[in-house]
Amino acid sequence: MAYTYIEVCNETLRRLNEVEMTSSQFSGAKGIQALVKDAINNAQRDIYSRDREWPFAYATTSQTLTAGTREYALTTNYLSIDLDTVLIDRNDSLDIEEKHLTPISYTEYVDRYIERDEQRDSSDYETPEFVYLTPDYKLGVSPTPDKAYVVKYTYYKVPTELSASDDVPEVPVQYKNILIDGAMYHMYMMRDNIEQSDRSARAFEEGIDQMRSILINRYIRMRDTRVSDVINDW
């Protein structure tokens, strides 16, 4: 069962012995109520910053390649990219079956393939075999594509800022108390209540550890080190 932004805000307000908000009051909230709204978003960002691979942050996207172009902008809301998942989608009109691309480092691309790619003319373009990331975080493919192939990949996204009262936080409902603990930490820090902020911080970190153990560590898989450090600054 989903829960909403106003619900976690009001739960936080109850813990603080403050007046709750109605839906009609929510957008114009002021004072302590506005601070609680900010604290929930801050706590959500804190959760995302603790690990890049929460399952609830998992997303997929696609990019249509242009014949003759090797490098492309990444999706704008990524936190990390999984190059192991990059594939060319099946397209009967282009006579191409689904094909996974092999991840390589940019250094390897420069050392082994860039000269070949730059010397070829359009008659030598072909189906890409490799995928890499440039130093300025663009997605690169090699050899230079000869057709408008569609490339798909998975990534972990940055959290969506909560705004409307009925927005649904991305942290699963069974872990909403962790989100609230994080908000309580921020509220107690704002009040200079060090003892309570420390207590809330411990509960928050313990909750994150539990969530990580259940949602991530249980499903650890081998990953390419060329992939894991592709991090967006958000």
- pLDDT 10s digits, 62-75: 999 999 999 999 98
Inform me whether the pLDDT recorded for 224 exceeds 50.
Answer: no
Q: What is the mean pLDDT of residues 34-44?
A: 98
Instruction: Find out whether 140 and 133 touch, Cβ atoms under 8 Å.
Output: yes
Number of Cα atoms under 13 Å in the Cβ half of residue 210: 12
Residue 220: which pLDDT band, with cuts at 50, 70 and 90?
A: low
pTM: 0.81
pLDDT in tens, 110-147: 999 999 999 999 999 999 999 999 999 999 999 999 99
How many residues belong to the chain?
234
Report how far residue 96's alpha carbon sits from residue 79's, in angstroms, rounded to the nearest whole number: 30
Inform me whether the pLDDT recorded for 208 exceeds 50.
Answer: yes
Cα dihedral across residues 190, 193, 197, 198: positive or negative = positive
Give pLDDT, residue 223: 46
Share the mean pLDDT of the chain: 92
Residue 217: which pLDDT band, with cuts at 50, 70 and 90?
A: confident
Give pLDDT, residue 76: 87
Report how far residue 230's alpha carbon sits from residue 78's, in angstroms, rounded to the nearest whole number: 9
Cis peptide before 145 (omega within 30 of 0): no
The domain segmentation of the chain, as residue ranges, is 5-54+159-227, 57-156
Nearest to 4 by CA among 35, 28, 26: 26
